[in-house]
Amino acid sequence: MPAAVTSFVFAAESERDNFVDLDVSVNWWIGLAVVISLMLAADLYRHRDNHEPSPREATMETLVWIGFGLAFSIVVLLGFGDDGGAAFGEYISGYLIEKSLSIDNVFVWSILFSTMKIPLKYQHRVLFWGIFGALVLRLVFILIGSELIKRFAFVLVFFGLFLIWSGLKIIRHREDEGENTSTAGLGTLKRFMPVSEELDGQKFFTVIDGVKHATPLFAAVIVIELTDVVFAFDSVPAVLAVSNEPFIVFASNAFAILGLRAMYFLLANARERFHYLSHGLGGILIFVGIKMTVSRWYHLNTFVSLGIIVAMLIAAVVFSEMKNRKIAAEEVSA
């Protein structure tokens, strides 16, 4: 095999040189695991009574979770010495990408819960365990993806092209997205055990005529996990486009998705207000896909990438708000 081809297929070191290379000790991973566990425990305790979150409560909790995510960026900045600045930029970029793409996930959850007829007061419990499983799945995906990029340079091009395709697909968003997933998830679960038609309070399992059944709540958890697998195929490569350091990629993913439960209760019914959100998210995926595809030959500065991503999000929100005002004005004039 020619040396140039061998270098392209098997050597990704030049690409990794464009990103921060941290010496992350086991203590950092343990510390991150402890912090995440404490945050999950506090959140589970706070919602132990399965109450329906008010808009104000959802707003405050969303701000708190975002605060935790941003606070960890300061820990990264101060904790990695001379590499702290670069690590900070990569963490913030990854956090923003994951947080942005997760908004689309929130809207799909809204369709899933409506399709599966899950009461609002039980939705937090379902999302808690769904996100707990998502953290484990994301860690596996990130470690595998990072190792593939480290060993095989051509994976960068494959991931990049996949992100471009995903971005185009998101721009052509379907309103019924999520309904097919709920049907497929229920069908998969029923192959392994009976599923009851009725809820039994907040229980995931119940006994009917002496036979153990999964309740619709457990079925919803399985469906949430399946949707996260689908979304992870987009979001994990997207974050790997701005950082090749597994610790940074996982931390940015973890802090972004930990606050999704609060964001869900805040935004679930606001999909119609974000007319151009899918265009913004699709644009972000296309941008990071192009960035990853050409990264072997050209590396765009992390903070420039961050600015472009922020600009796309702002544009999506601004144009959506302009359309909302236009619709409101037309309704008044009519």
pLDDT for residue 6 is more than 50: no
Look at residues 84, 10, 86, 22 and name the one whose alpha carbon lies nearest to residue 299: 86
Q: Can you tell me whether residue 189 is helix, strand or coil?
A: helix
Count of C-beta atoms within a 10 Å radius of residue 196: 20
Instruction: Determine the average pLDDT of the residues in 255-260.
Output: 86
Q: Are 239 and 249 in contact (CB under 8 A)?
A: yes
> So what's the pLDDT on residue 197?
77
Distance CA 296, CA 300 (A): 11
> So what's the pLDDT on residue 184?
59
- What 8-state DSSP symbol labels residue 125? H
Q: Which residue has the higher pLDDT, 28 or 45?
A: 28
Average pLDDT, rounded, for the chain: 79
Model confidence at 33, pLDDT cuts 50, 70, 90, reads: very high
Distance CA 314, CA 334 (A): 30
Q: How many domains does the chain have?
A: 1
> So what's the pLDDT on residue 270?
63
Model confidence at 3, pLDDT cuts 50, 70, 90, reads: very low
pLDDT for residue 248 is more than 90: yes
HEC sequence for 294-329: CCCCCCCCHHHHHHHHHHHHHHHHHHHHHHHHHHHH
pLDDT digits (tens, 9 = 90+) for 290-301: 887 887 777 777
> So what's the pLDDT on residue 1?
47
Give long-range contacts, CB 8 A cutoff, 24+ apart: 317-323: 317/274, 317/277, 317/280, 319/275, 319/276, 320/273, 320/274, 320/275, 320/276, 320/277, 323/275, 323/276
DSSP helix, strand, coil percent of the chain (3-state; round to 5): 75, 5, 20
List phi, psi (to 5°) of 208. -125, 120
Q: Can you tell me whether residue 207 is helix, strand or coil?
A: strand
Residue 23 token pair:
């010496």
- pTM across the whole model: 0.76
pLDDT for residue 4 is more than 60: no
Q: How many CA atoms lie within 13 A of 2 on its CB side?
A: 3
pLDDT digits (tens, 9 = 90+) for 73-101: 999 999 998 888 899 999 999 898 888 88
Q: Are 94 and 249 in contact (CB under 8 A)?
A: yes
Return the minimum-mean-pLDDT range out of 45-49, 109-113, 266-270.
Answer: 266-270
Return the minimum-mean-pLDDT range out of 133-147, 244-258, 320-334.
Answer: 320-334
Instruction: Determine the average pLDDT of the residues in 211-219.
Output: 84
Instruction: Determine the average pLDDT of the residues in 321-333.
Output: 79
Contacts of 162 (CB under 8 A, 6+ apart): 233, 237, 289
Look at residues 139, 106, 136, 135 and name the one whose alpha carbon lies nearest to residue 123: 106
> So what's the pLDDT on residue 324?
79
Residue 4 token pair:
């140039």
Model confidence at 271, pLDDT cuts 50, 70, 90, reads: low
> So what's the pLDDT on residue 7?
43
> So what's the pLDDT on residue 109?
77
Domain of residue 302: give its range: 3-333
Q: Which residue has the higher pLDDT, 246 or 202?
A: 246
